[in-house]
Amino acid sequence: MAPASEWVTIAPDDLLVMDLAPDRENRARRVVIQLMPPPFSQPWIANIRTLARAHWWDGLAIVRAQDNYVVQWGDPDAEDAAKAKALPLLIPTDESEYVSPAGVAIGRDGQSRHVNFSAYTEAFDDFVSGWPLSAGHDETVWPVHCYGTVGVGRSLSPDAGSGAELYAVIGHAPRHLDRNIAVVGRVIEGIEHLSTLPRGTEALGFYKSPEERTPITSIVLGSEIADFHVYQYLSTEGETFARYAEARANRRDPFFIVPAGGADVCNIPVPVRRAQAG
Amino acid sequence: MAPASEWVTIAPDDLLVMDLAPDRENRARRVVIQLMPPPFSQPWIANIRTLARAHWWDGLAIVRAQDNYVVQWGDPDAEDAAKAKALPLLIPTDESEYVSPAGVAIGRDGQSRHVNFSAYTEAFDDFVSGWPLSAGHDETVWPVHCYGTVGVGRSLSPDAGSGAELYAVIGHAPRHLDRNIAVVGRVIEGIEHLSTLPRGTEALGFYKSPEERTPITSIVLGSEIADFHVYQYLSTEGETFARYAEARANRRDPFFIVPAGGADVCNIPVPVRRAQAG
C-alpha cells in the first residue's frame, strides 16, 4: 500500500464528467475523465472547460464507435454548416496550435526513469507527473495514446480540432496518433459505458442513423457537481509506483511461468482511486 | 492490391465457428476463429477440434467479460465437480504440455524479417506464416497476444488447461501472457459480438448471475457448415504484406503530421478476407 503522501488529488476543474442517457435497464452511465496538466494541449483544454461550463455538449451524442479503436462524441451535425450547433467561443485552428502535440521541452533533469525504448516512436516511454509520455532524443516529451486516452477529433492537417469533438481509445494503443493529435485526458472511471457501445456500421464506425447514437445527457466539470467524489492518482515519482511498474514487468504471482522482463507503458495504467471520506 | 497468389486459403478444419444466442433485436451473433497452425499449441487444438465435433460447448455460455482484457467462455459449472459437464476425452494437463507455449524452434533460416525489438519480451517481434510471433535469441519462437487472440483458460501452473475454456483478448495486448498460456487462434470475424458484451461485475469480470451470461448456441468447425465461406489471409512472406507493414509504421496519408517510424506487431493486423465466389 502506498502512503497517503504518494496519492495526488486531482483538481475538480481537471475532471470532465459525462452522463450518457440511461441504458435499457435504466441504469445510469457516467464516464469520468481526467484532463491533462500543463504544458500539454492547454489551448484545447481551455476550450473544453469553456464548452463544459456552457453545457454545450448536453443533448448531443456519441457519433462513432469503431471496434478496437475509438468511441467519439460531439455534434452529429458538425459537418453541416446549416445545422451545426454554434460554438460558444472562437476556435483557434491554425497550424501553430500544433506546438503541443509535436512535443514540448519540460526540463526533466534528474527525473529520468525510462520504462523502455519504444519501437513505435524510436523514443523512450516514461511516466511524468502521473501520465504516460514518450521522450525524444531532442529532450522533448509528448503524451501517448493508451487504452482510455482522450483526444481531440479533427479533420485533415492543419486543422487541429477545437475540442468540441472528442474520442476515447477503446482498443490496442494507436500509438501512430501520438504527436498527430492533441491528447487532452484519460478516462478514469466508467470506460465500460463507452467500450460496450454497439459498433457503428458506417465507414470508420460512424453510426448510420440518429436512432443508433447514444444521447449525451450532460458534460460538466467536476467542480460543478456538489459534493462530487475526490479522485487521486498514484504519484509516478514515488517508490510505490516504481515497485508497481517493476511488478507489472516481471509478474511473480503463481499464475505465471515466464516473466516478460518488460512491460509496455500502456500495460502499466496509473492507479486512480476515489479518496476515502474524511 | 495483392495478387491472388499471396492470399492463403484457411482450411475449414482450422475454423471454429461460434454462434451466440441472438441479441435483443434478434440479430444473429457469429464469431469466426482461425486456429493456429503447427507447431504451436497442437495438443490443445486437437482437444478443441474434438470438443467442437462433439458439440460440447452447445448450450454453455460466455462466463466472463473483463474490460480492456478478455471475454471467456466455457462451462459455468466447471469448478463444481458435481455439476461440471463431462469432457468427451481424456485431457492432458501435466506440465510437459507447456513445451509449445514456452517457445519452439522452427528453423527460420533466411526467413527473418524482424518487425521490431519488443521491450516486453526482450525479443524480436515478427510475422511467420500469417501469424504475429516473438523470436528469442535462442532461436525459439512463440505466438503473441494481440487484440483478438484466442487462448486457453487455465488455473495456476502447472495446470495447462484443456481447451474447453477459451478466451479472446478485447483490450490492449496483454503480452505478459505470452509463453504463459497456450495461444490457439484469433478472431477473424465478429469480434464486436464479444467486445461489446456487458462487463461482468464480479472479480476478474466474471458474471454474478446466470442471467447475465450470454448463451452459446453452438460451436462447430467450419468443415461442418455446408457451403461455408472460404476465408483467406494475406501471406506474411509476400511483397504486399511487406509494403503494408511498412505503411503501417510510416503513415503517409494526409491525416498525419509525424509518421511514427515504427509499429507494434499488434498494430499490424494480418489481413483476412472472405474469398470471392468463383
pTM of the model as a whole: 0.94
**Which of A97, A257, A268 best tests the B interface by mutation, with the highest count of B CBs <10 A?**
A257
Inter-chain touch B119–A148, beta carbons under 8 Å: no
When pLDDT is averaged across residues B201-222 and rounded to a whole number, the result is: 97
Across A47-51, B75-79, B102-106, B173-177, least confident range: B102-106
Closest-CA distance of chain B to residue A98, Å:
10
| The three three-digit cell numbers of residue B187, written as one number | 478472431
Neighbouring CB atoms inside 10 A of B252's CB total: 8
Chain B interface includes A120 (CB < 8 A): yes
Nearest to B180 among A176, A179, A256 (CB): A256
Q: What's the pLDDT at A116? A: 62
Chain B interface includes A100 (CB < 8 A): no
Q: What's the pLDDT at B120? A: 61
For B10-21, what is each residue's pLDDT tens digit? 999 999 999 999
**Complete edge-to-edge strand list for the sheet that includes strand B231-234:** B7-9, B231-234, B272-274
User: What's the Cα-to-Cα distance from B131 to each of A138, B94, B141, B149, rounded to whole Å?
Assistant: 36, 27, 11, 10
**Which of A176, A181, A188 best tests the B interface by mutation, with the highest count of B CBs <10 A?**
A176
Q: What's the pLDDT at A90? A: 59
Report the amino acid identity of residue B19. Answer: D
Kindly report the average pLDDT of chain B as a whole number.
88
Chain A interface includes B92 (CB < 8 A): no
Q: Which residue of B has its CA nearest to A155?
A: B255
Chain A interface includes B156 (CB < 8 A): yes
CB B146 within 8 A of CB B186: yes
Inter-chain touch B148–A68, beta carbons under 8 Å: yes
Kindly report the average pLDDT of chain A as a whole number.
88
Q: Which residue of B has its CA nearest to A157?
A: B255
Nearest to B260 among A102, A175, A259 (CB): A175
CB B220 within 8 A of CB B77: no
For A207-221, what is each residue's pLDDT tens digit? 999 999 999 999 999
Chain B residues in contact with A197 by the CB 8 A cut-off are: 196
Considering Cα of B90, then B91, then B93, then B98, what sign does the dihedral take? Answer: positive
- A91 pLDDT higher than 80: no
Rama region for A14: left / alpha / beta (φ>0; ψ in -120 to 50; rest)? alpha
Beta strands in chain B (DSSP E): 7-9, 15-20, 29-35, 61-65, 70-74, 104-105, 116-118, 123-128, 131-135, 140-143, 149-152, 166-169, 183-189, 214-221, 231-234, 272-274
| The three three-digit cell numbers of residue A209, written as one number | 442513423
- B111 pLDDT higher than 60: no
When pLDDT is averaged across residues A224-252 and rounded to a whole number, the result is: 93
**Which residues touch A103 (CB under 8 Å, ≥6 apart)?**
A136, A138, A140, A141, A142, A179
When pLDDT is averaged across residues A181-198 and rounded to a whole number, the result is: 97
Q: What's the pLDDT at A110? A: 44
Across A106-110, A138-142, A207-211, least confident range: A106-110
Chain A residues in contact with B179 by the CB 8 A cut-off are: 257-258
For B131-169, what is each residue's pLDDT tens digit? 999 887 777 888 999 999 999 998 887 777 889 999 999
**Which of A70, A258, A272 best tests the B interface by mutation, with the highest count of B CBs <10 A?**
A258
With CA atoms as reference, report the closest residue to B133 among B124, B122, B123, B144.
B144
CB A194 within 8 A of CB A147: no
B219 DSSP β-pair partners: B18
User: What's the Cα-to-Cα distance from A33 to each of A11, A61, A219, B241, rounded to whole Å?
Assistant: 12, 17, 10, 38
Q: What's the pLDDT at A95? A: 44
Give the ipTM of the model, two decimals please: 0.93
Q: What's the pLDDT at A228? A: 97
Closest-CA distance of chain B to residue A34, Å:
18
For A52-62, what is each residue's pLDDT tens digit? 999 999 999 99
**Which residues touch B222 (CB under 8 Å, ≥6 apart)?**
B12, B13, B14, B15, B16, B17, B32, B228, B231
Nearest to A263 among B120, B147, B196 (CB): B120
Considering Cα of B163, then B167, then B169, then B173, what sign does the dihedral take? Answer: negative
Chain A interface includes B266 (CB < 8 A): yes
CB B238 within 8 A of CB B6: yes
User: What's the Cα-to-Cα distance from A9 to each of A116, A148, A276, rounded to whole Å?
Assistant: 27, 20, 12
Kindly compute the dihedral angle of the four CA atoms of residues A55, A58, A63, A68, in this order, to the nearest 10 degrees.
Answer: 70
Give the Cα separation of B171 and B166 in Å (integer).
Answer: 16
Look at chain A and count its residues: 278
**Which of A255, A270, A272 best tests the B interface by mutation, with the highest count of B CBs <10 A?**
A255
Q: What's the pLDDT at B261? A: 78
Is residue B277 very low, low, confident or very high in pLDDT (cuts 50, 70, 90)? low
Q: What's the pLDDT at A13? A: 97
Nearest to B179 among A119, A146, A258 (CB): A258
Chain B interface includes A201 (CB < 8 A): no
Q: What's the pLDDT at B141? A: 86
Q: What's the pLDDT at A250? A: 85
Look at chain B and count its residues: 278
Q: Which residue of B has its CA nearest to A147?
A: B172
Chain B interface includes A180 (CB < 8 A): yes
Give the Cα separation of A233 and A211 in Å (integer).
Answer: 37
Give the Cα separation of A202 and A64 in Å (integer).
Answer: 9
Q: What's the pLDDT at B107? A: 57
